[in-house]
Amino acid sequence: MGINRREFLKIVGISAVAGLGGATAVDLLRRAPVEASQASPNPKALTAKRWAMVIDTRKLTEADCQRMIEACHRVHNVPDIGTKQEVKWIWTEEYEHAFPDDMNEFVSDEVKHKPFLMLCNHCDQPACVRVCPTKATFKRADGIVMMDMHRCIGCRFCMAACPFGARSFNFGDPRPYVKEENRKYPTRMRGVVEKCTFCTERLEEGLMPACVEVSNGALIFGDLDDPNSEVRQALRSNYSIRRKPNLGTQPCVYYIV
């Protein structure tokens, strides 16, 4: 019994597909080995169920804000580009631009001209995570919305989706614009999106986020799920607002005004 060319090619084709598919399936089913970083967590690391930040705007002046911005951008090697293709993790906005849905015709002079710190809200229901096609941005179990710069394809869907304008794209190589490189934190390459990470690398070492550290108590950082945490106490005893809460993303950055 012979087979003709057409049948032979069919068998070869099906075998090839089955072979490739089978190999992938085996790979997927096999348990990944434990990674080194998982083996020994730092005992000093700060942990929480849901990290959140409370910004007491009453205590903040423009100079304070600049100090925090400077601390953050220095420690994270955020480039100082200065064009409309800039990269920023934390910055200030005026009230009417920070809370554009809050359209009170008349606000107190103090609030109107006060600087409001803007940063990633680490939302409970982050739109950026929902739209990312590669899981390069993802939500950690402790609530922090994180970036994997090595997986990001630079499609910028997350930038379109974030209602808070928290994300920046490296349009070009950021390294020439990093004034003084912090060797302990990676610089980024062009073509990826980045943003505030609530200083995961510092939390792992038992340190508070860089901006909180230099805030003289104006920024409070803690566990929103712990009723006795400092953030919960601050929210209990003060009136606070959040940016665009009507969009349902549940921002985890609160502003005491």
Q: How far is CA 61 from the centre of its chain?
A: 25
Which residue lies nearer to another protein by CB, 1 or 26? 26
93 in contact with another protein (CB under 8 A): yes
d(CA 205, CA 170): 28
Single out the residue of 193, 212, 224, 252 in contact with another protein (rule: CB under 8 A).
Answer: 193
Instruction: State which of residues 14, 20, 23, 160 lies at the interface with another protein (CB under 8 A).
Output: 160
Residue 121 interacts with another protein (CB under 8 A): yes or no: no
Cα–Cα distance for residue pair 212/228, rounded to 1 Å: 19
Span 130-159, contacts to another protein by CB under 8 A: 130-136, 151-157, 159
Token digits of residue 225: 């799920």
Pairing of strands 91-93, 219-223: unpaired
Q: Are 59 and 216 in contact (CB under 8 A)?
A: yes
Neighbours of 108 (CB within 10 A): 11
Instruction: Tell me how far, at minimum, the Cβ of 246 lies from another protein, in Å.
Output: 9
Q: Does 52 bind another protein (CB under 8 A)?
A: no
161/234 with CB nearer another protein: 161
Helices and strands in the chain: count of H runs, count of E runs: 10, 10
Confirm or reject binding of residue 107 to another protein (CB under 8 A): no
By rule CB under 8 A, what string of x and - marks binding of each residue 73-92 to another protein? Answer: ----------xxxxxx----
Tokens matching residue 98? 């920070």
Closest Cα to residue 247, out of 128, 152, 141?
Answer: 128
Q: Which residues bind another protein (CB under 8 A)?
A: 83-88, 93, 96-98, 100-101, 103, 127, 130-136, 151-157, 159-165, 168-173, 190-193, 244, 247-249
